Amino acid sequence: GAGMIGNPGDMWWADFQRDGTEDPVTGEALPPAKVYEPIVSVDDIREKAEACLEAYNFHYPSKAMELVLFDEALRHLMKINRAIQLKRSSCMLVGVGGSGKQSLTRLAAYI
């Protein structure tokens, strides 16, 4: 369903769902608005996250990442992204080495 990842009834939010716009005067590409809102669908948010990953890999080819953004990874990406953007917030990522903590944090910071 819309906004559902994981358990039925769970609602997930993200602020990287909107597309960029164009300045009507100069024609310059403007970055998308950062509006924290419920996700439209898992497929849409996965597409946006994968587009952000492609853009990251293009801008930082020496640190390119090959990530598989499965549902659980998307959940963590949205949580990390939110924590990074809140003032005076923090989070501790715990898990075995090689589970993607650093890569998801790097992508969330880029977004």
The predicted model scores a pTM of 0.82
Cα 93 to Cα 34: distance, rounded to the nearest angstrom: 24
- Residue 33 pLDDT level (bands cut at 50, 70, 90): confident
9-18, 29-38, 55-64: which is most confident:
55-64
Q: Write the CB contacts of 63 (distance below 8 Å, at least 6 apart in sequence).
A: 106
H-helix segments, 24-100: 42-59, 71-85
| Residue with tokens 């990406």, as numbered in its chain | 77
Higher pLDDT, 83 or 8: 83
Of 61, 57, 58, 19, nearest to 40 by C-alpha is 19
| Mean pLDDT (whole number) for 38-64 | 94
- Residue 9 has a pLDDT of 62
- Residue 31 pLDDT level (bands cut at 50, 70, 90): confident
Cα 85 to Cα 47: distance, rounded to the nearest angstrom: 21
Q: Write the CB contacts of 92 (distance below 8 Å, at least 6 apart in sequence).
A: none
Q: Write the CB contacts of 88 (distance below 8 Å, at least 6 apart in sequence).
A: none
| Mean pLDDT (whole number) for 23-46 | 89
